[in-house]
Structure 1
């Protein structure tokens, strides 16, 4: 098929590998292939280095960490899935135990490798296999550590009318330190959300002991005139000591308030102006603060934090040090937090370093320093005083409040970091136990292995993968669903937000999301805005901040240089759009350029442009990038379009979309469902499940294809070869398609000929009318694979057995079972059929002496066991495509083992014989060079066959690992081929979803003038109010593409214009006209006859330029009154199939508490008849129906048994009894001491006996 790309703006770089964020994060965590001494202090290495060394109470024993190494995984990925196992690596940690002698010398006691359990390993497609299920660890977006400044939520102000601000020093792990003002302008600090203390007390505890020292740090003065009105001089404090000009003595001490008498006194002395403090907050706080020494301050803080009256001095001093300043274990800013603090306060640090000799903290300093506290306080005071910037030397920073939704203040925690945090928790719990063991054990025979107990460590990893909110069961409906699940960003989860408490601001689109987070793709419902998706070109930097690429512009000329910018860096620049017109040399052509600065769109001259967008697609995510003409759709519908593409079921016959956006191939490739050649070479063998390529180096590469695998959502994973024998392939070429792909492109649906018109009300309200031809051609047919499992367990009496010998089952029910009682592969099964025959012992019964005698005479009877077979549940039917049996080694008898060995041997011998026969045939007609290639090819094939034979033999020898008390597990896989049917949900890519309301015979469908019936009829009313006009442009371009046999590629925001679409519609019409002319000429028409026939054809059969054409009713053959819009739309079948939803119940399970039927299809429940439904029946006055609903059909236990009985016997239905809910009401009233009794009409109440 030809391709036409309408894109005008090519991106200078390709989007990064779409799974890069996940893969890089896990590789950084594991550092598997890095030599032990070269590992960075992050991930596993970082956790071990932070927790170790561990010492006992007198520090005589020290357990040091040396390094770690990994073993090999026990099972492959495929085996792990089949066996319900976890795909993991054994972790071995080398620990060294040292003995410190009293003279300070160290002696090594022992160094050992300790097994630390298994760490789940990421597969090539960035998933984890936990207990046989594929899971994804979603990245979390959370508040970055650092210092943030915010205004009081209630917008309160001080006595002087200044806003109340507060500063928060937020670490990654540890106690928060918060500074705040009260109404009087006094500065307080709160440590770890405890009671507030004066900020000056905190400063004293840090070593700034005297009042002068503290005042000097924050002293800034301004001159005021003493002639100013007294109101202007109120609340001003003298900045420095004032000396008498004549005598030199101090008249006024620094810090005195300028009251009226003081002003008069200074005026008398000849002063016209005086230096006052710019801000007196610290001075006021000092006056209020009763504490005057460091020792008192430390004790006071200890008292507040520990709420203890009795204080030990050295413990108090050590406590604060340990809490904030010393231990990374207790307080960790991380490199990100430190980077943010240094970036925010750069010039302020310089100022204190220059004027007060305070140190600037190093980049790798992860705990708090006293300088951080001083700098934060300085910034807070500047903010309080309304200053807007701070300058020191050449550096200037803006002073202002922080926006917590700004992506400069939020960062991404990916798999590696989340897992590292869990491992840290596990190690801390383990460290406690190790210290206890160290104190209790004898030092002579202690070893690292005897000290370490890994139970907590292993449990923590299991808990994270099994139960964490961020470890999710993978959405595997189709390749796009897999890919977007791995690129998802969640604000929920541990340490994140709570969906009930998250407000509107957090969920809203923020200007910093541009190019970083997709503004469209997010769920509808309670999680809207909290779960988002990474934009196409975005990447996460080592600090966890999201970056997006921009093209550098210098002096109005776009260069080839691409810079990745974080959100806070981008705020400093003016960024032009990607479609800014450029000449051949890259110069900006227009006089004023439209672009973004901070949060607004403005016009600037070309010389003021700093950067340019790299591509119009960089704003949105991959899912949104697959919607053609997205720019013509309303955002709400585009959101639905994104989410519904993820629900498209992989179809049996796939079709590439005729109108695409050009990233379909990238999605298919990066999702990992297609197979890609690893090197250049030639295809030497192709079969349904294997491709062999001889590379140029002479090696033969084998690619195994996955056939009829089951996904997490029961859709079918099937790979098919795209190459044939003898093809020459290049490295990176797609050689096999996966599910929902075609020729290496994502293909989720079918190209249908659609018409927008009403049709007898069958497409009212989003319903759809389909043609029967779609079913005949299998165009919306999908394969669904279900797994059923039977377990034979050890029970109290005797074990359950899997057998063909089942009590009370007729021979016709056993037809599909083999001699072991397991269904044969290839059998067609439906509801109620036996899949696995199983018997279980009956409960213990009392037997009579006669029965015991009969048993002794005739052996035990079959009634000892009951039928516990696995049967096909209701609503399921299909073909058995596979059976797998797992047996515990000791439960396999010698006879069975030999039989299995024989079977494996027979299969191997047959396959080997076939290979040799094929080889002989191929060698017969080959020349010398071909012969050597054939020899090496068949040698590889035999080698592979032998390996699989050995693996099977080994598996039989070892037996299978099964859960406790399970002797045997049988898994049966049933494939069902589901055709489209009435009730299925279909959707386009523009959020235009609908349910199939009727499937019409082909002959009744509306048809085009040339007799072609349309495939689908949609309602025209679905477009105006929904404003997803993209679908109309799609069907017009799609029609042109179909007629011209061309795939139209129209990238998002850079696609085909209306004029271009009309041009291609005209080209398609011209082609049809030419073909018609040729066919008419071939039957001998000439001259006027020919011209008239062509004119009639053009008038009646060709569509107008906006694709409107006269349609004819298939039932009557008459033309419809108006012309109808007809074109080709790409339609998907979604995973909401009526087959899975259809459900009916006569009787079934009841709730134990309320005695009402259970709800839902899974419980085989009933339909809830709720309060509003009762009102509806009351409205009709249908009393008997209502009584029936509320009693026998609900919770009248006796009544429903009688009712069922009388229906079976064909008798008249008895009166309903008392429902259970009424009894509950009566009992509740009794609990309130109200005795309620039910009386018949005849009976009269008994009179109360008087005492």
Structure 2
């Protein structure tokens, strides 16, 4: 039985769906309840003839649903939450009630994806500083300034700065206001007696100097101090009370604020809902301590002071603008329209005028298309974290790995290029609490007690209260007889550790899920491990897959994911099929689980579910009952085990290329399934004549219409080839003629009216042959407004066989491109008559320091003969000594020889003697032979190859367009010109750079010459040179071309070519 016992990291993926629910139930109503009265009062306060009375208790949240029975349409079309406000209008003549739609929020599905235009999108976590108090030292105007800045909710920031001239200035970034300390203390009613009671510099000269500053008195500062006073008091916060009158006073993580201030000021008053007046005095004392070097400045970029920015924060920051825009539109309608009808209400609630988050989500860089190549890429995309949105940051402090990030962010997996260090991933076993703060689970062991007690390790709290041991003491057991280096308040000390305390963190917690899938990762170079993790996320699900011989245990953790179908109740399976599973529970109720098969991902890979239970089986709550194509026996397996030979073969292994055994091609090894979708719409034109489909379409042979039904639509399950007819579509337009009498004569002669018929049939593209697996017909009831009454979708599934140019990769970053497919009889063989499935170059192993690749190969051959699998720990030599792994490999090779008679060389264990398959002669040296796990990458050669033809020309430069996506043609670049110049191909160059390029008149003349209508003339001046001449004329330079008179050599004739 497989239960959904989720690790912390996979549970954190589900937080996005839970946070979306909390947004609709809790946060959004409270935000609107506080925001609407303020906006309504500001908008309608100028209207003298309007009496406004509003109540936000009847706000409604409606779900936009679609009445479609197809599962694909329900899950893939746009679904939004509508927020409407019931409005009652009273005038002297009538009373009117209606629901005014404020905005629409895109709906999140159960796995936390946003569906926009039928495509799944994922929100990327963003790190930001938690609300609280921070200190730092800056240099401004050639002077050192000690700064304390407080981040309130909704990015309200206040900076308190201590300058060299003993002045304290307070600057508010939201209200753009500057004032001194004495002014703020006066308006907050903080007396000198109160200051002397809490300050350690009570009667000092420097504090008296600060308090003798002049007090600014104006209305703007008075209004500001009334606002800031709400942050420095001790009320009890109740979201349902009438005390709250500003939206800035909600959603504050007071647990963090209290714990945060306790680190600086000791035990302060607990359960306080905001900053105390004494905290302001203690902040001033701390700045003075920094100035007199009594205290070291803490790290403001500590990871314990950061939180994850969620999708709720993104929505709440935009609601102010959207609601105000909609209510201004309502005011315009109320003041301009004399009467209020249903037509006006329909115009107000029209989709064109409703402000939606759809456009904002489309252009936001944090909302990306979901990476759906395989299950691992889906999970890793939801665990992606960005430190900042901009990639042009020169500060390396943001990109580097900090000690506080240990166990919070992955140490290896990051993006390459400009985003290196800015985009990373969450590790395997992290915990995200309700305030979206990342914590690391750990075990705290006391030496007097052998029982382990699991707890959550908060680095910020522990590093400020206790002595925190450095990397050696956390990652390894430290020696109690030696002094150990510890860190306390950024100061390094050598002390004797506490004998009753030890902190243990698992090594898998410093890596993400992709890195933990790599066996022997500690024996590889980190850059190659990063490449291996990336390659697994780009691997395509195979038609025939195998479970890996060498596993790490993370493969089964990936199956505990909410995207799979799992049981919601305890019961017995009564029905199982490829599309539905029925469970009868203990209350004799039947619950049906529908499997949405034959779905295509954003990368056009197939998503298909397979039941993992049988009729009569008893299932429990949370048990997995169906998995997708990436899993074999509820274990993540996306590749296959191959016998690999590290050697050479006719030079085809050059530059990490691979030699492939044709036997695997016959057995459909590394064959993958891909799904493409065609969509066609049937419209109604202006003369109310609909487009239609019919089998009786002219100009097509019976062979081209062999797969169509009587309606002209292709049959489900039909095998199609390139350029095959899929759906016929006929558009009829009115026949216009200058002489209406001719139309009447022809209609009388032939018996029907003349019509202009246009063929708009849908054909299959080149290279897209496959089989029709699904047909979807969608009727549109509102066709009068959209002019579209029918939509048809076709789903074509196709097989991709392995061919020369495809890319394969192992789990250690050992990737290569297939350069040659050899017959099995021509490949080398050993004394056991075994020929390899794959031949790769041995040069790529020592240069890249991939020892784990070799260890997996040696252990894999033992698994092949003894029918066993290995569950490998992260680092074997750490627990059992430095020679343990070497002894282990030696014993397993001997085991294969003893039980299965596998012949090996006792002098060079792991290496075998091979013979040439063509000549039968023994090779000179022994080579390494074993089994390794390989996957097929999505970078297939069939998607990259492009035939060079005469394609379209650019409108501006009239040169051939390049690129496969734009159907580009024969565009010769600078390097191609060099190649032809090296061989002296002058006539070919002339043709390519004139007739086949931007010589417009030359192209027309060549066409007429080929048709035999006129003679071939010399080439004309190309458009690129004409553009240069135009640019020179803009610089007041005129260029003329002169020709020599053939009769008199000294006379020049003006040419008309320019």
- Unaligned segments of structure 1, at least 5 residues: 1-12, 34-38, 100-108, 222-238, 241-275, 303-315, 354-359, 389-398, 892-961, 1077-1096
Aligned equivalent of 1:1237: 1040
The equivalences for 1:1101-1180 within 5 A come to 1101=904, 1106-1166=909-969, 1169-1175=972-978, 1177-1178=980-981
| Residue 197 of structure 1: how far off its partner (Å) | 4.3
1:669-711 Cα distance to aligned partner (Å, 9 max, x none): 31524x4344555544433333444555544444433432222
Cα 1:1176–1:746 shift into 2, 3 Å = same
Q: Retained in 1: the 8 A contact 2:521–2:529?
A: yes
The equivalences for 1:352-367 within 5 A come to 363-365=272-274
SS of the residue 1:46 aligns to: helix
Aligned equivalent of 1:51: 35
Equivalent of 1:150 in 136, 148, 151: 136
Whole-Å separation in 2 of the counterparts to 1:859 and 1:1237: 66
Whole-Å separation in 2 of the counterparts to 1:215 and 1:443: 64
Cα 1:335–1:699 shift into 2, 3 Å = closer
Equivalent of 1:191 in 172, 177, 191: 172
2:116 is the counterpart of 1:130:
yes
Cα 1:1001–1:181 shift into 2, 3 Å = same
Q: Retained in 1: the 8 A contact 2:732–2:755?
A: no
Equivalent of 1:858 in 744, 750, 755: 750
Cα 1:595–1:371 shift into 2, 3 Å = closer
- Between 340-349 and 1130-1139, report the one with greater CA deviation: 340-349
Q: Retained in 1: the 8 A contact 2:188–2:229?
A: no
| Residue 82 of structure 1: how far off its partner (Å) | 3.0
2:643 is the counterpart of 1:749:
no
The equivalences for 1:1029-1108 within 5 A come to 1029-1053=851-875, 1059-1060=884-885, 1062-1063=887-888, 1066-1067=891-892, 1069-1076=894-901, 1098=903, 1101=904, 1106-1108=909-911
SS of the residue 1:1114 aligns to: coil
| Residue 1122 of structure 1: how far off its partner (Å) | 1.1
Q: Retained in 2: the 8 A contact 1:168–1:178?
A: yes
User: CA RMSD for the aligned pairs?
Assistant: 4.4
Cα 1:451–1:875 shift into 2, 3 Å = closer
Aligned equivalent of 1:402: 299
Cα 1:377–1:657 shift into 2, 3 Å = same
Whole-Å separation in 2 of the counterparts to 1:890 and 1:501: 50
2:314 is the counterpart of 1:418:
yes
Cα 1:856–1:790 shift into 2, 3 Å = farther
Normalised to the residue count of structure 2, the TM-score between the two structures is 0.85
Whole-Å separation in 1 of the counterparts to 2:507 and 2:372: 29
| Residue 778 of structure 1: how far off its partner (Å) | 0.8
Cα 1:144–1:838 shift into 2, 3 Å = same
Q: Retained in 2: the 8 A contact 1:479–1:671?
A: no
2:382 is the counterpart of 1:490:
no
| Residue 1017 of structure 1: how far off its partner (Å) | 0.7
Whole-Å separation in 2 of the counterparts to 1:697 and 1:111: 45
Aligned equivalent of 1:965: 787
Whole-Å separation in 1 of the counterparts to 2:650 and 2:139: 58
Aligned equivalent of 1:718: 608
SS of the residue 1:512 aligns to: helix
Whole-Å separation in 2 of the counterparts to 1:132 and 1:718: 18
Cα 1:1176–1:1113 shift into 2, 3 Å = same
Cα 1:1130–1:671 shift into 2, 3 Å = farther
2:446 is the counterpart of 1:537:
no
Cα 1:853–1:85 shift into 2, 3 Å = farther
Whole-Å separation in 2 of the counterparts to 1:621 and 1:171: 32
Equivalent of 2:293 in 386, 391, 394: 386
Q: Retained in 1: the 8 A contact 2:520–2:852?
A: yes
Q: Retained in 2: the 8 A contact 1:173–1:330?
A: no
Cα 1:606–1:342 shift into 2, 3 Å = closer
- Between 1161-1170 and 855-864, report the one with greater CA deviation: 855-864
Q: Retained in 1: the 8 A contact 2:64–2:82?
A: no
| Residue 631 of structure 1: how far off its partner (Å) | 1.0
2:454 is the counterpart of 1:562:
yes
Whole-Å separation in 1 of the counterparts to 2:961 and 2:631: 41
Q: Retained in 2: the 8 A contact 1:151–1:164?
A: yes
1:380-429 Cα distance to aligned partner (Å, 9 max, x none): 333223221xxxxxxxxxx514332x212321022333334344543344
Cα 1:644–1:1067 shift into 2, 3 Å = closer
Aligned equivalent of 1:317: 222
Aligned equivalent of 2:125: 139
| Residue 1179 of structure 1: how far off its partner (Å) | 5.3
SS of the residue 1:741 aligns to: coil
The equivalences for 1:368-387 within 5 A come to 374-387=281-294
Cα 1:1003–1:375 shift into 2, 3 Å = same
Instruction: Count residues with an aligned counterpart.
Output: 1016
| Residue 1209 of structure 1: how far off its partner (Å) | 7.8
Equivalent of 1:804 in 689, 692, 695: 695
SS of the residue 1:332 aligns to: helix
Q: Retained in 2: the 8 A contact 1:518–1:621?
A: yes
Aligned equivalent of 2:765: 873
Q: Retained in 1: the 8 A contact 2:546–2:637?
A: yes
| Residue 31 of structure 1: how far off its partner (Å) | 4.0
Q: Retained in 2: the 8 A contact 1:878–1:976?
A: yes
Whole-Å separation in 1 of the counterparts to 2:975 and 2:198: 68
Cα 1:1060–1:1169 shift into 2, 3 Å = same
Q: Retained in 2: the 8 A contact 1:616–1:1053?
A: no
Whole-Å separation in 2 of the counterparts to 1:603 and 1:570: 18
Whole-Å separation in 2 of the counterparts to 1:963 and 1:601: 73
| Residue 1245 of structure 1: how far off its partner (Å) | 5.8
- Between 419-428 and 541-550, report the one with greater CA deviation: 419-428
| Residue 628 of structure 1: how far off its partner (Å) | 0.9
Q: Which protein shows a greater Rg? A: 1
Aligned equivalent of 1:645: 536
Normalised to the residue count of structure 1, the TM-score between the two structures is 0.73
Q: Retained in 1: the 8 A contact 2:7–2:557?
A: no
Whole-Å separation in 1 of the counterparts to 2:949 and 2:776: 35
Aligned equivalent of 2:522: 631
Whole-Å separation in 2 of the counterparts to 1:1172 and 1:384: 63
Aligned equivalent of 2:357: 461
- Between 1047-1056 and 1201-1210, report the one with greater CA deviation: 1201-1210
SS of the residue 2:1027 aligns to: helix
Whole-Å separation in 2 of the counterparts to 1:347 and 1:1064: 52
Aligned equivalent of 2:210: 282
Aligned equivalent of 2:677: 787
SS of the residue 1:477 aligns to: coil
- Unaligned segments of structure 2, at least 5 residues: 232-242
Whole-Å separation in 2 of the counterparts to 1:1116 and 1:450: 84
Aligned equivalent of 1:760: 650
Equivalent of 1:1022 in 832, 844, 850: 844
Q: Retained in 2: the 8 A contact 1:537–1:549?
A: yes
SS of the residue 1:713 aligns to: coil
SS of the residue 1:752 aligns to: strand
Cα 1:1108–1:1222 shift into 2, 3 Å = same
Q: Retained in 2: the 8 A contact 1:825–1:883?
A: yes
Whole-Å separation in 1 of the counterparts to 2:599 and 2:385: 29
Cα 1:474–1:151 shift into 2, 3 Å = same
SS of the residue 2:829 aligns to: coil
2:808 is the counterpart of 1:986:
yes
The equivalences for 1:16-31 within 5 A come to 16=7, 18-31=9-22
The equivalences for 1:104-253 within 5 A come to 119-152=105-138, 158=143, 163-173=144-154, 175-180=156-161, 184-192=165-173, 197=178, 199-200=180-181, 202-203=183-184, 206-207=187-188
Q: Retained in 2: the 8 A contact 1:816–1:824?
A: yes
Cα 1:847–1:616 shift into 2, 3 Å = same
